[in-house]
């Protein structure tokens, strides 16, 4: 460590320079001589010494290891076959809007095993799959300002760009798909947001147009479910012709009626369903879910107002129970299980009771886990084609991820129970086999990479 005493400024300038200016000047001159960091020792006024001391701290410059040109990755080497390699190419950023993230954890999803087993969403071989992850920013393009190297982030990707597959060490994605991880959330927790969290959020907020929790005004809510009597009672003058007070009163009335609306979630304990249930409640609507006995309490704890335990029931029992509880007031429906349950949801939505209450209003239905291509869709239903690639293709979809972050930060959203798998990329194929069995009981599989 070396102390240096500054020389006095040139004659004539001495009285013009203030102490702060002299410090700045000294720091500037030391910097040009190659010093890296400085500690300024305040002037001891009692001794009235004219010397400002600067102590150089002899810390070496932080060594940033260069980003390698190859990396390890779990690749789909050929049809149906995974392979872990250590020399997968790592390209530099190609656009100033891109971000390179070094992965810490990846979330596993049914799409990961399905795409390899059924050979879809694989434009070429070798390819890298994986749709969600959390990690640390490695590099940013010149246009990126919301995050910096070293920041903790999460992202959601899709299959078109091999650089964006999350089962590789470094992932390159467009900046609007990269979100800072809220301070109260770990890497493991953040890696569940990119698929299940965002799918639930965008299904409800984008495709079904349910207002985001931060924006639940009566105006944004779906049309109220009404019996014919209720419809007659509500056939009033348009808002524009009312006084402010009457409009407010009417808005309150409408809001109260809206609160009767049910959102049917078949598969309430799927990870996606857990997010959806909470978001429905946060938007002021009521969720009715279908789960097994072992996860019913979980679904209830997340805010489902009514949970139907499917164990021991046949489908007509479940449909009867849905009708008994909702009394035809289902305003939205999501199926997160598969073709058979999607068909059952359509039966519910076209029941006489639903028709009587909802009139000719089409009920949005999102079949998230496949619906038969030739499935007949009743005229009372509008099937929403949820395409999560819209998160990557439409920059404005970033707002849904920001809202998820806000809800997490404010503690309003509970994350699923995690099962964290060690073993890096080698562990992923086995873990996906576990997921394929479909009995995770509401837990989410995360792999540390
Ligand atoms: N379109 C998209 O973009 C998109 C996005 C996300 C997910 N998905 C799809 O949605 C499905 C779920 O994904 P996920 O990751 O959320 O699932 P997950 O958590 O792996 O779902 C497993 C859970 O499903 C529940 N389940 C199984 N059979 C059921 C049934 N007959 N009725 C009700 N619940 C049943 C089980 O809980 P219980 O037995 O305890 O009820 C199990 O724990 C997958 O098919 C996935 O591909 C699609």
- The pLDDT of residue 346 is 98
Region 402-414 average pLDDT: 98
**Phi, psi dihedrals of residue 196, rounded to the nearest 5°:** -60, -45
Q: Which pTM value belongs to this model?
A: 0.81
d(CA 72, CA 74): 7
Q: Which of 15-19, 40-44, 146-150, 443-447 has the lowest mean pLDDT?
A: 40-44
Q: Are strands 363-367 and 381-383 parallel, antiparallel or unpaired?
A: parallel
Query: 246: domain range?
Result: 219-383
C-alpha span between 238 and 232 (Å, rounded): 14
378 touches 349 (CB < 8 A): yes
Report which protein residue has its CA nearest ligand 1's atom 21.
270
Q: For residue 269, how far is its CA from the centre of ligand 1 (angstroms)?
A: 7
CA atoms of 198 and 156, how far apart (whole Å): 8
- Tens-digit pLDDT profile for residues 254-303: 443 445 699 999 999 999 999 999 999 999 999 999 999 999 999 999 99
Cα–Cα nearest to 448, from 198, 166, 173: 166
Question: How high is the pLDDT of residue 3?
Answer: 35
Our answer on whether the CB atom of 368 is closer than 6 Å to any ligand 1 atom is yes
Same domain? 165 vs 231? no
Task: Please check whether residues 369 and 421 belong to one and the same domain.
Answer: no
Written as six digits, the tokens of 35 are 């010093």
Answer left, alpha or beta for residue 427, where phi above 0 means left and psi between -120 and 50 means alpha: alpha
Specify the CATH number for the domain of residue 186: 3.90.180.10
351 lies in a domain?
Answer: yes
Q: Is the CB of 192 under 6 A from ligand 1?
A: no
Q: 410 in a domain, yes or no?
A: no
Is any atom of ligand 1 closer than 6 Å to the C-beta of 131? no
Does ligand 1 have an atom closer than 6 angstroms to the CB of 269? yes
- In this structure, are 286 and 379 located in the same domain? yes
Distance CA 165, CA 177 (A): 13
Of residues 20, 54, 21, the one with CA closest to residue 35: 54
pLDDT at position 43 over 50: no
Distance 442 CA to ligand 1 centre (A): 9
270 Cβ below 6 A of ligand 1:
yes
Whether 272 is in the pocket of ligand 1, judged by its Cβ within 6 Å, is: yes
235 and 332 assigned to the same domain: yes
Tell whether 272 and 375 lie within a shared domain.
yes
Residues 271 and 330 both lie in one domain: yes
Residue 354 backbone zone (phi > 0: left; psi -120 to 50: alpha; other: beta): alpha
Q: Tally the domains of the chain.
A: 3
Distance from residue 3's CA to the centre of ligand 1 (Å):
66
Round to whole Å and give the CA distance between 392 and 158: 7
Sign (positive/negative) of CA torsion 189, 191, 192, 193? positive
Q: Which two tokens stand for residue 408?
A: 């997490």
Q: Is residue 100 part of a domain?
A: yes
Whether 401 is in a domain gets the answer: no
Q: Is 294 in the pocket of ligand 1 (CB under 6 A)?
A: yes
Best residue for ligand 1 mutational test, from 203, 207, 267 (most atoms within 8 Å of Cβ): 267
Residue closest by Cα to atom 6 of ligand 1: 196
Structure-model confidence comparison of residues 326 and 224, the more confident one: 326
Condensed to tens digits (0 to 9), the pLDDT of residues 79-120 reads 999 999 999 999 999 999 999 999 999 999 999 999 999 999
- Residue 113, C-beta contacts closer than 8 angstroms, at least 6 positions apart: 432, 433, 435, 436
Separation of alpha carbons 342 and 346, rounded Å: 6
C-alpha span between 253 and 234 (Å, rounded): 9
The helix/strand/coil state of 337 is coil
Query: Same domain for 371 and 422?
Result: no
Would you say the CB of residue 121 lies under 6 angstroms from ligand 1? no
301 and 326 both lie in a single domain? yes
Task: Indicate whether residue 299 lines ligand 1 (CB < 6 A).
Answer: no
197 domain-assigned: no
Strand partners, 99: 140, 173
């Amino acid at each position: 460590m070396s102390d240096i005493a500054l020389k006095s400024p040139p004659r004539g300038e001495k009285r013009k320079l203030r102490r702060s200016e002299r410090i700045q000047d000294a720091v500037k001159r030391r910097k040009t001589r190659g010093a890296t960091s400085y500690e300024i020792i305040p002037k001891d006024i009692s001794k009235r010494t004219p010397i400002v001391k600067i102590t150089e701290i002899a810390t070496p410059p932080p060594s940033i290891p260069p980003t390698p040109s190859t990396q390890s990755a779990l690749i789909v080497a050929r049809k149906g076959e995974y392979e872990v390699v250590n020399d997968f190419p790592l390209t530099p950023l190609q656009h100033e809007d891109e971000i390179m993230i070094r992965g810490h954890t990846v979330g596993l999803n049914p799409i990961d095993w399905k795409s390899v087993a059924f050979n879809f969403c694989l434009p070429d071989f070798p390819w890298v799959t994986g749709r969600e992850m959390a990690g640390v920013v490695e590099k940013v393009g010149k246009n990126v300002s919301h995050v910096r190297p070293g920041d903790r982030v999460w992202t959601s990707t899709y299959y078109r760009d091999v650089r964006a597959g999350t089962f590789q060490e470094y992932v390159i994605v467009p900046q609007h798909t990269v979100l800072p991880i809220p301070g109260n959330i770990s890497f493991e927790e953040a890696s569940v947001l990119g698929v299940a969290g965002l799918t639930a959020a965008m299904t409800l907020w984008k495709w079904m147009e349910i207002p985001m929790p931060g924006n639940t005004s009566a105006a944004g809510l779906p049309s109220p479910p009404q019996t014919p009597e209720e419809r007659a009672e509500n056939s009033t003058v348009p808002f524009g012709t009312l006084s402010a007070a009457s409009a407010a009163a009417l808005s309150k009335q409408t809001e109260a009626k809206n609160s009767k609306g049910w959102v049917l979630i078949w598969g309430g304990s799927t990870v996606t369903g857990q997010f959806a249930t909470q978001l429905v409640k946060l938007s002021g609507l009521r969720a009715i879910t279908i789960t097994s006995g072992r996860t019913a309490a979980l679904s209830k704890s997340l805010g489902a107002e009514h949970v139907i335990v499917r164990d021991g029931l046949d489908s007509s029992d479940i449909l009867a129970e849905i009708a008994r509880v909702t009394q035809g007031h289902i305003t939205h429906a999501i199926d997160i299980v598969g073709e058979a349950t999607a068909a059952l949801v359509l039966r519910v939505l076209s029941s006489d009771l639903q028709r009587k209450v909802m009139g000719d209003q089409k009920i949005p239905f999102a079949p998230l886990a496949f619906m038969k291509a030739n499935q007949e869709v009743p005229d009372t239903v509008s099937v929403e084609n949820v395409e999560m690639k819209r998160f990557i293709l439409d920059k404005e979809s970033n707002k849904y991820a920001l809202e998820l972050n806000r809800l997490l930060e404010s503690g309003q959203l509970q994350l699923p129970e995690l099962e964290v798998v060690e073993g890096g990329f080698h562990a992923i194929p086995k873990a996906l086999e576990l997921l394929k069995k479909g009995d995770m009981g509401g837990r989410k599989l995360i792999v540390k990479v």
